[in-house]
C-alpha cells in the first residue's frame, strides 16, 4: 500500500514518513501542493494525508477541485483546525479528519483503514489459477492454503494479478510496491520475485518477460 504525505513542517513530515514506513507502507512525502501535484501525476496511491494549511493555500480547496475532476483516492486531513464547523467542512471533501496533536498509532490505524477501503472498492478479490488474493483482508491463498507474505511481496503479487496474463514492467512494479527512496537499478525486485516464487511453489505462477518485467498467469507467448 502506497501513501502520499503532504506536510510543510519538516520534522513532522519526517516523523509521519518514518512511522508509516515502519508500519509497512510505501510512503512518498511532499512539502506543498505543487509537489503533491507532481507526485500524483507520476504515481498511484492508496491513500493521501494532507495538512490543511500549506504555504500555497488550504488543501481543502485543492482536494475539492480534484474530487470534482473525478479523483477518488481516500484522503485524510491532518490539521490543527479542530472546531466542529472546520471538521464538518473538511469531511465534505475528505474521508477522515484527524486534529493535531495526534497519536501516531491512531494515524497509522486510520491510514490502514482508508487503504483497505480503497482496495476493497477497487478489486476486493483477485483470482488467477488456484491463487486467491484478498485485498481487504490482506491475505493470499494457494489451493486454499494461507501464505505468509511480507508487505512488499503482497504489493508486487497484487500488481501482477491485477494485470494477469499481461506483462508488467519492472518500473511499474517498483512504483507500486516501493516509495521514492527505492533504487530502480538495484535488484530488490528480483529478490522479491524469487521469494514469491518460492512461497507460491509449483506450478509456476510468475513468469519472466525478457526485456520488460514479469507476468502472472499464462506464460508469455
Q: In terms of domains, do 65 and 129 share one? A: no
Spatial CB neighbours of 161, under 8 Å, sequence gap ≥ 6: 126, 127, 128, 131, 133, 216, 217
Strand partners, 143: none
Domain that holds residue 46: 2-121
On the question of pLDDT at 138 being above 90, the answer is no
* Per-residue pLDDT, 121: 47
Give yes or no for a contact between 128 and 164, defined as CB atoms under 8 angstroms apart.
Answer: yes
Q: What is the CATH number of the domain that holds 200?
A: 1.10.10.10
Q: In terms of domains, do 87 and 133 share one? A: no
pTM metric for this prediction: 0.60
Q: In terms of domains, do 116 and 9 share one? A: yes
Q: Can you point out the beta strands (E) in the chain?
A: 2-6, 26-30, 47-51, 53-54, 57-58, 75-79, 96-99, 125-128, 131-134, 139-142, 145-147, 168-169, 206-209, 213-216
Per-residue model confidence as pLDDT tens digits over 66-121: 888 888 899 999 888 888 888 888 888 888 999 988 899 999 999 988 887 765 44
Query: Which strand (E) or helix (H) includes residue 153?
Result: helix 151-162
Give yes or no for a contact between 37 and 14, defined as CB atoms under 8 angstroms apart.
Answer: no
Q: In terms of domains, do 29 and 107 share one? A: yes
Residue 149's pLDDT band (cuts 50, 70, 90): very high
Exposure string for 74-102, b = 16+ CB within 10 A, e = fewer: bbbbbbebeeeebbebbeebbbbbbeeee
Give yes or no for a contact between 141 and 161, defined as CB atoms under 8 angstroms apart.
Answer: no
Kindly report the number of other CB atoms within 10 A of residue 133's CB atom.
24
What is the number of alpha carbons within 13 Å of residue 206 lying toward its C-beta? 23
Give yes or no for a contact between 76 and 96, defined as CB atoms under 8 angstroms apart.
Answer: yes
> What is the rounded end-to-end Cα distance, in angstroms, of the chain?
31
Q: In terms of domains, do 6 and 114 share one? A: yes
Q: How far is it, in rounded angstroms, from Cα 115 to Cα 168?
A: 22
Q: What is the CATH number of the domain that holds 80?
A: 3.40.50.2300
Q: In terms of domains, do 96 and 148 share one? A: no
- Which three cell numbers mark 208? 519472466
Per-residue model confidence as pLDDT tens digits over 159-216: 899 888 888 888 888 877 876 655 555 688 999 999 999 999 999 999 999 988 999 9
Q: In terms of domains, do 113 and 16 share one? A: yes
* Per-residue pLDDT, 183: 59
Exposure string for 148-177, b = 16+ CB within 10 A, e = fewer: ebeebbbbbbbbbbbebeebbebebbbbbb
The reply to whether 41 falls in a domain is: yes
Structural domain ending residue among the three candidates 53, 87, 121: 121
Q: What is the CA radius of gyration of the chain?
A: 19
Number of domains in the chain: 2
The reply to whether 221 falls in a domain is: no
Q: In terms of domains, do 99 and 18 share one? A: yes
Q: In terms of domains, do 129 and 100 share one? A: no
Q: In terms of domains, do 99 and 27 share one? A: yes
Amino acid at each position: 500500500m502506497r501513501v502520499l504525505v503532504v506536510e510543510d513542517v519538516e520534522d513532522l513530515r519526517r516523523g509521519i514518513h518514518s512511522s508509516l514506513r515502519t508500519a509497512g507502507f510505501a510512503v512518498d512525502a511532499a512539502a506543498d501542493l505543487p509537489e503533491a501535484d507532481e507526485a500524483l501525476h507520476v504515481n498511484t496511491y492508496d491513500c493521501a494525508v494532507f495538512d490543511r494549511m500549506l504555504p500555497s493555500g488550504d488543501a481543502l480547496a485543492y482536494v475539492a477541485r480534484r474530487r470534482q475532476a473525478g479523483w477518488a483516492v481516500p484522503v485524510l486531513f491532518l490539521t490543527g483546525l479542530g472546531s466542529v464547523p472546520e471538521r464538518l467542512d473538511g469531511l465534505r471533501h475528505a474521508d477522515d479528519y484527524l486534529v493535531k496533536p495526534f497519536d501516531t498509532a491512531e494515524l497509522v490505524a486510520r491510514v490502514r483503514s482508508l487503504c483497505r477501503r480503497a482496495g476493497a472498492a477497487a478489486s476486493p478479490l483477485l483470482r488467477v489459477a488456484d491463487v486467491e488474493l484478498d485485498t481487504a483482508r490482506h491475505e493470499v491463498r494457494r489451493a486454499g492454503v494461507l501464505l505468509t507474505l511480507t508487505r512488499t511481496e503482497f504489493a508486487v503479487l497484487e500488481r501482477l494479478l491485477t494485470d494477469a496474463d499481461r506483462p508488467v514492467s519492472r518500473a511499474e512494479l517498483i512504483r507500486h510496491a516501493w516509495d521514492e527512496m527505492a533504487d530502480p537499478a538495484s535488484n530488490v525486485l528480483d529478490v522479491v520475485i524469487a521469494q514469491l516464487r518460492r512461497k507460491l511453489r509449483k506450478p509456476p505462477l510468475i513468469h519472466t518477460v525478457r526485456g520488460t518485467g514479469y507476468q502472472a498467469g499464462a506464460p508469455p507467448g
